């Protein structure tokens, strides 16, 4: 954070952090609360991703996260002193984000917006635009990914940085045109109200290349609850074309949050893109700086059909979900 930024303002004892939640409700109730809580537990991110996004935002005054969910990334960034804006189309998840942002460490000011990341207009630009943890794959089509990247470009300051990560998709997986379905298989264990509960995962392809329907069966003591998610995968070659077509000049892709080169053994594609950077020097410098500072474990090398949850879900606990997320800023 540069001189005179929000962190300095807080240190100087100025006004308490502001959390402007727009249309986000107070707290989800009943089934909505359980669904959002389970979703947040199941989507705990990949090892090293939080440290990566915090690094990307070091020195930035403002950041916009598209598909911010329950605030897993947003709250630690706010605690770092970045003025954050989170946009998501799920009000129940935003309600968790609101709680995370109002946690004990507070933040430099935060805005939560219920919106569609394929098409939105916030009327301002940001130093960083982030789309963490496969957010692009939640959008349903390659066209939708392109629309989201164009909206991201419109909201990025001229000298800003777009950062996102997606799983690396084998061309072979992408071209799979036969419908297929796996059995439910155990994938992780979560702590739910003080009890360990197992989670099973089933994946199915509907015959459309890149479409995967994922079902998580969470074996709660009162009976199993199944959550469904549809992913639209695309290989990096397709996404890179979308990024460039959206108006980004410098595009730097790495194979992990530790800055490893991208190759056929990579599990992830971690991307930094800039606007006024035709030779890609700024994006490359930013990536190099991150690689030097990173202390990440290598990502698990799983096939795309077995790695949809992210590798941080194991052992995630609903005990103090929000506090744990805010605490990640201290631990990370």
Ligand X SMILES: C[S@@+](CC[C@H](N)C(=O)[O-])C[C@H]1O[C@@H](n2cnc3c(N)ncnc32)[C@H](O)[C@@H]1O
In the complex, least distance from residue 304 CB atom to ligand X, rounded to whole angstroms: 15
Q: Which of 133, 167, 192, 248 binds ligand X (CB under 6 A)?
A: 133
In the complex, least distance from residue 276 CB atom to ligand X, rounded to whole angstroms: 26
For residue 295, the tally of other CB atoms under 10 A from its CB is 9
268 binds ligand X (CB under 6 A): no
Residue placing its CB nearer to ligand X in the complex, 49 or 277: 49
Residue placing its CB nearer to ligand X in the complex, 282 or 325: 325
Residue whose C-beta lies closest to ligand X? 67
Handedness of CA 117, 320, 101, 22 (dihedral sign): positive
Q: Which of 6, 48, 67, 256 binds ligand X (CB under 6 A)?
A: 67
Per-residue interface string for the shown chain with ligand X, residues 74-113, x marking contact by CB under 6 A: --------------xxx--x--------------------
* Cα(149)–Cα(134) distance, integer angstroms: 13
155 binds ligand X (CB under 6 A): no
Looking at 56-64, 134-142, 247-255, 290-298, which segment touches ligand X (CB under 6 A)? 134-142
Q: How many residues bind ligand X (CB under 6 A)?
A: 20
* Cα(217)–Cα(199) distance, integer angstroms: 6
Backbone Cα Rg of the chain? 19
246 binds ligand X (CB under 6 A): no
Looking at 98-106, 132-140, 203-211, 264-272, which segment touches ligand X (CB under 6 A)? 132-140
In the complex, least distance from residue 86 CB atom to ligand X, rounded to whole angstroms: 8
DSSP 8-state assignment for residue 2: -
CA-based nearest residue to 231, from 164, 308, 327, 289? 308
Residue placing its CB nearer to ligand X in the complex, 9 or 230: 230
73 binds ligand X (CB under 6 A): yes
In the complex, least distance from residue 56 CB atom to ligand X, rounded to whole angstroms: 13
CB 116 within 8 A of CB 151: no
* Cα(156)–Cα(162) distance, integer angstroms: 7
Assigned token pair, 195? 């009890």
* Cα(35)–Cα(227) distance, integer angstroms: 8
Per-residue interface string for the shown chain with ligand X, residues 31-60, x marking contact by CB under 6 A: ------------x-x---------------
Q: Using CB atoms within 10 A of its CB, is residue 97 exposed (0-12), middle (13-18) or buried (19+)?
A: buried
In the complex, least distance from residue 115 CB atom to ligand X, rounded to whole angstroms: 6
Looking at 135-143, 173-181, 184-192, 196-204, which segment touches ligand X (CB under 6 A)? 135-143
Handedness of CA 209, 210, 211, 216 (dihedral sign): positive
Q: Which of 118, 155, 168, 307 binds ligand X (CB under 6 A)?
A: 118
In the complex, least distance from residue 145 CB atom to ligand X, rounded to whole angstroms: 11
Q: Which of 36, 57, 60, 68 binds ligand X (CB under 6 A)?
A: 68
In the complex, least distance from residue 241 CB atom to ligand X, rounded to whole angstroms: 21
Alpha helices in the chain (DSSP H): 6-11, 30-42, 49-56, 74-79, 91-101, 142-154, 171-174, 236-245, 281-293, 321-331
Spatial CB neighbours of 203, under 8 Å, sequence gap ≥ 6: 181, 182, 212, 213, 214, 215, 305, 308
* Cα(105)–Cα(84) distance, integer angstroms: 14
Spatial CB neighbours of 12, under 8 Å, sequence gap ≥ 6: none
134 binds ligand X (CB under 6 A): yes
Binding site for ligand X (CB under 6 A): 43, 45, 67-69, 72-73, 88-90, 93, 116-118, 132-135, 138-139
């Amino acid at each position: 954070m540069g001189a005179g930024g929000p962190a300095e303002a807080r240190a100087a004892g100025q006004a308490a952090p502001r959390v402007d939640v727009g249309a986000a409700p107070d707290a989800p109730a009943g089934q909505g609360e359980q669904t959002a809580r389970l979703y947040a537990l199941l989507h705990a991110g990949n090892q090293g991703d939080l440290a990566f996004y915090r690094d990307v935002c070091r020195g930035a005054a403002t950041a916009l996260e598209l598909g911010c969910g329950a605030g897993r990334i947003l709250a630690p960034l706010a605690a770092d002193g970045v003025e954050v804006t989170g946009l998501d189309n799920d009000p129940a998840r935003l309600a968790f984000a609101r709680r995370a942002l109002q946690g004990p460490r507070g933040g430099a000011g935060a805005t939560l917006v219920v919106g569609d990341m394929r098409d939105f207009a916030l009327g301002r630009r940001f130093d960083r635009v982030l789309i963490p943890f496969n957010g692009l794959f939640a959008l349903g089509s390659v066209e939708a990914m392109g629309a989201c990247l164009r909206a991201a470009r419109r909201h990025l300051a001229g000298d800003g940085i777009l950062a996102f990560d997606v799983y690396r998709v084998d061309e072979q997986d992408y071209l799979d045109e036969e419908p297929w379905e796996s059995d439910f298989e155990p994938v992780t264990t979560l702590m739910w109200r003080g009890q360990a509960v197992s989670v099973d995962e089933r994946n199915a392809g509907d015959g459309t290349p890149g479409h995967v329907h994922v079902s998580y069966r969470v074996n709660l003591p009162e009976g199993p609850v199944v959550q469904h998610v549809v992913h639209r995968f695309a290989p990096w070659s397709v996404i890179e074309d979308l990024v460039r077509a959206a108006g980004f000049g410098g595009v730097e892709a790495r194979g992990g949050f530790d800055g490893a080169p991208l190759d056929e053994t990579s599990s992830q594609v971690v991307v930094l893109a800039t606007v006024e950077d035709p030779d890609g020097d700024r994006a490359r410098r930013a990536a190099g700086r991150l690689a030097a500072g990173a202390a990440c474990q290598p990502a698990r090398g799983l096939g795309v059909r077995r790695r949809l949850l992210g590798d941080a879900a194991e052992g995630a606990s609903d005990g103090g979900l929000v506090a744990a997320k805010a605490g990640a800023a201290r631990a990370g």
